Amino acid sequence: MAKIKIGELAPGFTLRGVDGKTHSLGDYKGKRAVAVVFSCNHCPTVKDYEDRMVQIQKDYMNKGVVLVAINPNDSKQYPEDSFDNMILRAREKHFNFPYLRDEDQSVARAYGAERTPEVFLIDSRGVLRYHGRIDDSRDLKEVKSHDLLNALDALLAGRSISIVETEPHGCTVKWS
């Protein structure tokens, strides 16, 4: 499976959200950045990051940034990742960002996603500018490198992103 590379155009998508609406990457034209995070319900690492994802959206939404979470996992093998359970999880955790279902896993394949959580930061032109982890520790108290925030801040300030790729940690995508 090929992974999109830094500097390439991000693949478009149209997916169903837990809000009952259909969301496309094109819906976010005009945003300064879109952080696509491949996510799910069952992964313990994702669970450790959910509050951070909510905080990132809260802190950056007025700066023209949107975080979009996409769940590509096979819900037959992992029923906790079903669309109905996604709706429940989004309500329970007060998600303030779109949470979308990649039922046929085509979007995860197009991006080359391998882990949850795994971030693909896209600029206003639709170009991939950062790929990897949110930060370097599941334990918020142990974080030393705020990789996604550093990339966002550089992108928004018009500076070069110093570290454009990091190794995502978390569960593997559960392929059908």
**pLDDT per residue as tens digits for the range 96-131:** 999 999 999 999 999 999 999 999 999 999 999 999
pLDDT, mean of residues 70-93: 98
The confidence score (pLDDT) of residue 3 equals 86
2-11, 39-48, 54-63 — which is least confidently predicted?
Answer: 2-11
Percent of the chain at pLDDT exceeding 90? 97
Provide the pairing of β-strand 65-71 with 14-17.
Answer: unpaired
3-class SS at 145? coil
| Average pLDDT, rounded, for the chain | 97
pLDDT, mean of residues 18-40: 97
3's CB contacts (< 8 A; 6+ apart) are 111, 112, 114, 131
Q: For residue 2, is pLDDT > 80?
A: no
Record the pTM.
0.97
Q: ∠26-20-65 over CA atoms, to 5°?
A: 40
- How far is the C-alpha of 123 from the C-alpha of 7, rounded, in Å? 10
Residue with tokens 């819900």: 75
Q: Tell me which of 23 and 3 has the higher pLDDT.
A: 23
Confidence of residue 1 (pLDDT cuts 50, 70, 90): low
